[in-house]
Amino acid sequence: MVETLVELVRDGDVATVTLNRPAKLNSLTPAMLDQLEACVRALDADTDVRVVILTGCGTKAFCVGADINEWAALQPLDMWRRWVRRGHQVFDQWARLRQPVITAINGHAFGGGLELAIVGDIRIASTQAQFALPEASIATCPGWSGTQRLVRLVGASRAKYLALSGQRLSALDAVASGLVHEVVAAEQVLERAKALALEMANKAPVSLQLTKQLINAAAGEDTDATLEAMAGALAATTQDAGEGIRSFQEKRAPKYQGR
């Protein structure tokens, strides 16, 4: 049996995805990336889920990044193919998920863990949480959008401070920088995330999803696909679209009216 390292639980309109490797501070492995991808694909296809919560198991860490033992022995091409590129693919799917995502940051978020935290649309952190990009201390670089998505979120200057110094930000400093939206007591992080998720789930789901996509596009996240999807959906509602289908089926020239 495959070990469940990422758990998906649906509760009505809200789904909670939990990194389930607390003994290793929820550090990420290739198997976890695969399971994160399986979860995001299942959620994207689930029309009943309106809001998603992403969190970690335990009280110490949301996620402390990539498990160094998993990638340290990789050859350069395997590092690119199986690790950095793979992580980008999975994290991008999470950032572009049509449902709103609330990241409940129950503890430290370092390296890839910070990069995973910021795929969420709303971030709620424990007072005990700290944030860092420590990659330079082990002679590597942020690999899962710490130099890209994070820059769009907090600006180049703050991203440089984190990535070049390796300094840790407290939860309160993270709020001040725009990295997180709310800070609550450790035991209240998931409770607050669920309460907010339920508030959001009571709103019109399509409106929330479209608004998320529009804001993502404004921030440079999946802009091309968003514009084409919305244009295609609008075009499909026109009378001309119906005429185009009928004319094709009836094997005749269409008569478009511009409506």
Task: State the catalytic residues.
Answer: 115, 135
Provide the Cα torsion 59, 62, 64, 66; round to 10°: 130
CB 54 within 8 A of CB 97: no
Distance separating alpha carbons of residues 91 and 55, to the nearest angstrom: 14
Q: Look at strands 130-132 and 169-170 and give their pairing.
A: antiparallel
Alpha-carbon gap, residue 148 to 142, rounded angstroms:
9
Distance CA 55, CA 98 (A): 18
Residue with tokens 């994160």: 36
- DSSP line for 132-172: E--GGGGT----SSTTTHHHHHH-HHHHHHHHHH-PPEEHH
Using alpha carbons, select from 97, 72, 94, 92 the residue that is nearest to residue 83: 72
Adjacent-strand bridge partners of 183: 125
